[in-house]
Amino acid sequence: MAAQGDAAGMVRVGDYLIERLRAHGVAHVFGVPGDFVLGFMKDLEESPLTLITTCDEQGAGFAADAYARLRGLGAVCVTYGVGGLKVTNTTGQAYAEESPVVVISGAPSLSERRRHPLIHHKVRTYDTQHKVFQQLTAAAAVLDTPENALHEIDRVLDAVRRLKRPGYIEVPRDIVDHQVPRVPPLPTPPEASDPRTLAAALSEATAWIAGARQPVIVLGVELSRFDLMEPAMRFVDRSGIPTTVALLDKSAIDERHPSFIGVYAGALGRREVQEYVEGSDCLIRLGTLPTDINLGIYTAHLDPARCIDATHDRLAIGLHTYEGVRLADFVDGLAWADLPRRTVRDHPRPPAADVAPTGSPDASITVADLFRRLGAFLSDDLIVLADPGDALFAAIDLPIYEARDFLAPAFYASLGFAVPAAIGAQLARPDERPLVLVGDGAFQMTGMELSTCARYGLDPIVIVLNNGGYTTERLIIDGAFNDIQRWDYSKLPEVIGAGRAHRVETAGDLDRALADARRRDGQFVLLDVRLAKLDVSPALRRLGASLQQAAQGRATGDG
């Protein structure tokens, strides 16, 4: 790597970008090489950072997203046009789900832009890619003025860290080697709530909570994004109020906690949880995103007039809106509020999953039995990653305990997330092991990233729900468009030259495969779980029954 600077206080732009990534806790950068970014990638390779080359740019983007969710900042590095535009999908997901990922794109040099109107990878104009990313990020910059490059790097990284949304830095390839005067990073202006407004909001909120008959706390994803879980759990513990999470927020609380009632997701969740939450006269939602999936595909029935809604952008107590109140200050205020501690014994509890279910080992495997056995298989060194679809819905009732994380794109819902996300997750948490739940359709999109796992010695357990296509879509409108070619996934280790695999058709096959999966030898383990075409999880069956009941009610005029 080139020298960080000289005696006159000069620094290379490329070196400074690496230095600032390290200062923000980044140890790995994910990407795919291309000519416009090769110079910066060489700098990365010679730096203290580790460059992880994936099979595809989308795989790099999903890996960086998972890394960011667990470590606080992720980075993906790609070339211009064909690389940058391939990570727009993963960047869109990071924006929607508040994941702090910085996209670093190489680009044609400033001199090339002046001399050549047409150059490979260009779409319309040289700033087309920048304009696209301005719509997908909290901050975007093109380092086309060397004198401002350091400030622009710090501006973007500060916005990513502060807002927990992605940023974009485009580096023309001749700028990487520019020596510029070192300047101190711009200080971040302190954020604080308006004291009088905060006091008024806390006064109204605590009075309402104290007088409520059946309050319920909902812990949301923003609590983990903004490092607010400690004060939030202090509020839970001091108040004794029953507590839930939605799908996007699963793993926000140890599910053995005495206040935990189960996952709330409208009709996707268990009926007793739905009824308890929707029967609350004071629903305290902290950092939650009211997405359609979090609300059980619109099967939730929540009255805003009975909700306290606190997010990074907004605070509403019933129908009152408070401006200028930070989420951190509001949560901390609740954590220390003088509230009576409740002892609630009649709230729902999640089902126990301590013992694997029994049954005939020759019985064909079903989604329900697969996930029951996985509930008993989980250990505290596993990170659970679920792809959208029934892999996600079935995971609602998986027990997530203190040391486990659960990652899923339960809002943006992009298929193909989980396998490459396992790369980022294991590098962010090297002492933990990813357990990937993925449908066969999603696996065929990004499953080649198992090759990346093999290259870097990563050992996820990958469970493919193999039922010949897109089952969730089949339940909406079926057709041949939902079918895919049925692979023999158990043969993939032969192709990749690494890994172990099992073909699972019966309960006995599954038990033997899971027993082998516990053995760690530095290789991935893949379970090809053969399921009936229309077999679905209990969660999806609950949702279908609820939607059918609602439709019948509308038809008879009763709904």
Side by side, which strands form the sheet with 315-317?
Answer: 260-263, 243-245, 215-219, 282-286, 307-310, 315-317, 320-322
CA 64 to CA 68: how far, in whole Å?
Answer: 6
Six token digits for residue 192: 């604080």
Instruction: Per-residue pLDDT tens, the chain, 559 aa: give them.
Output: 444 445 458 999 999 999 999 999 999 999 999 998 999 999 999 999 999 999 999 999 999 999 999 999 999 999 999 999 999 999 999 999 999 999 999 988 777 767 767 677 777 788 999 999 999 999 999 999 999 999 999 999 999 999 999 999 999 989 999 999 998 887 777 788 999 999 999 999 999 999 999 999 999 999 999 999 999 999 999 999 999 998 888 888 888 899 999 999 888 888 999 999 999 999 999 999 888 888 887 788 899 999 999 999 999 999 999 999 999 999 999 999 999 998 888 888 887 765 555 678 889 999 999 999 999 899 889 999 999 999 999 988 888 876 578 999 999 989 999 999 999 999 999 999 999 999 999 999 999 999 999 999 999 999 999 999 998 888 888 899 999 999 999 999 999 999 999 999 999 999 999 999 999 999 999 999 999 998 998 888 877 766 566 555 555 555 4
pLDDT at residue 380, as a whole number: 87
pLDDT at residue 3, as a whole number: 41
SS3 content of the chain, % helix, strand, coil (to 5): 40, 20, 40
pLDDT at residue 251, as a whole number: 84
pLDDT at residue 553, as a whole number: 56
Question: Where does residue 7 rank: exposed (0-12), middle (13-18), buried (19+ CB within 10 A)?
Answer: exposed
CA 542 to CA 187: how far, in whole Å?
Answer: 51
Q: What angle do CA 65, 262, 272 make, to 5 degrees?
A: 140
Contact between 42 and 53 under an 8 Å Cβ cutoff? The reply is no
CA 419 to CA 416: how far, in whole Å?
Answer: 7
Instruction: Show the domains of the chain with their CATH numbers.
Output: 10-181 (3.40.50.970), 195-335 (3.40.50.1220), 367-541 (3.40.50.970)
> Which residues, 6+ apart, have CB-to-CB distance to 131 below 8 Å?
none
pLDDT at residue 559, as a whole number: 44
